[in-house]
Structure 1
Amino acid sequence: MEGLIQMPYDATVKLMLSSLERNLLPDAVVRRLTRLLLGVRLRWGYKASAELQLSQLLQFVHSLKEMPIAVQTEKPKEQHYEVPTSFFRLALGKHLKYSCCYFSDKGSTLEDAEAAMLELYCERSELKDGQTVLDIGCGWGSLVLYIASKYSNCKVTGICNSTTQKAFIEDQCRDRQLQNVEIHVADISKFEMEASFDRIYSIEMFEHMKNYRDLLGKISKWMKQDGRLFVHHFCHKVFPYHFEVPMAFNPSLLTVVGFDSLLQTRVSACFCSGYSRGGLAG
């Protein structure tokens, strides 16, 4: 296979993505590629001894303390959050939930799974009607709109990173006659406000952050004395890693399948994740 096709990296990725998007790759091939990517990440993460594993963890924690709260905030904004909402209507469910869903059984539809996950957030955070709520990284407002509709006496504030998202949420509020929602467009690492909340949610946002000490310090200023923080984030049960996806396909995958002569770049994409089941911090 090596030498069969001589294509630069960008062209190779473009070809693979185009084939995937047009549904030209059989499911068996997609699953195989996914397993290869997972294998690369797992081999990188697991060390030869407990001592090396601990050393990696401590080095990672130390490095985070030296970093800002967030880095390269404009690139993902351009790639994801300013994309027209009409595009996401084609791929997401009714709630436009741009994060994991909960399929409670094989018969669950995407809409069912979105609603089930949103309800699970409210249940595990012990949300009560009439409380003040903040959603950090609210996306297209799936949780904001769900809480504002079901808990009509809650005052819900959302922070997003996109004028497109803010416009969509506000349009939805007008259509549903919701008057208990306020949306801010802001970079969380720089955003400040004078407010306090009973419940603060962060759904699949923490993995994009770096300096958790500074981030949690900022969030703590917005919590009431008996407030609770609910966090849903990507993680692995053994080793930490940076959530980085600067490219569509991990170049190590192409090395594994025989394109090693074509690509010379570092492993950087993250495709291995688990989920924190507790999801509740006081």
Structure 2
Amino acid sequence: MSYVGAPKTVRSLEQRIRNLAGGEDLALRRRISMALVVVSQMLPEGAIKGGSAMALRYGRRTRFTQDVDAALVKSLARFQSDFEQSLAAGWQGFTGRLIKRPAPKPPAVPTAYVMQPFEVKLDYRGRSWCKVKFELGHNELGDADEPEYQLAEDLSDLFADVGFDAPQPAPVLRAEHRIAQKLHALSAERSDRARDLVDLQLLEQREELDLVAVAATCARLFDHRQQHAWPPTISLGANWDTLYLEAAEGLEVRPGVEEAVTWANEFIQRNATNGTRPSSANEGF
């Protein structure tokens, strides 16, 4: 089932989403996924990262996320001004407003690493439609300078089904930068980032990784942050079993967190020694 021509009102848009989804929970997921893509179409220069970048790469074949994280390449003031102009100009009937929120002040975290939170209030045809949490980080080691452009086919289909033109691929952080950042977070003391074990497996399965580039990027990032050394050893953290199972639900990754940690340490060693990738990304399931 699909519609021809864009909906003329926000009410029509919502009705089409519900009709296509077949249930309120599925409609909510469809709406949020579409909202993430809409934001990506109006984003100024920079690169999307985090779970939203995984969603743009792999669509429904990754864990569900409800917010957008990005890295800027300009000053915060310039980015904010450009984004506000882009949101006002709109895309396919969608417009938005950018609301700046107070930045958190976590202890023992350098100010440069704290994300600046915003809220994007999206309208369709002048009527309120959806809110998206948006967080902006700095351009660490130039990771946002040369993004990849990705958009999963099933996300593009969400728009075609409702009657819109297909969105353009969105700028996302390059795979080697995502891997380096996730390995650093995962190996930090008292890390709670078991979900990164899922994302790392998906990146290794689905990308043609240059292990030399991955290793070099990891070494640069670990050296730059000066918190712990490359290559690290991943240790099982508190509550990781539950956190991992929640993040891995329905995805083709290792079934348990212990197997995932073992895989992660082998993955680190392959990269650290510029070793070869296994013949099957699913080997060991």
TM-score bucket of the superposed structures, by smaller chain: under 0.3
If asked which structure has higher relative contact order (CA below 8 Å, sep 6+), I would say 1
TM-score calculated relative to the size of structure 1: 0.24
TM-score calculated relative to the size of structure 2: 0.24
Of Structure 1 and Structure 2, the greater helix share is in: 2
Which of 1 and 2 has greater Rg?
1
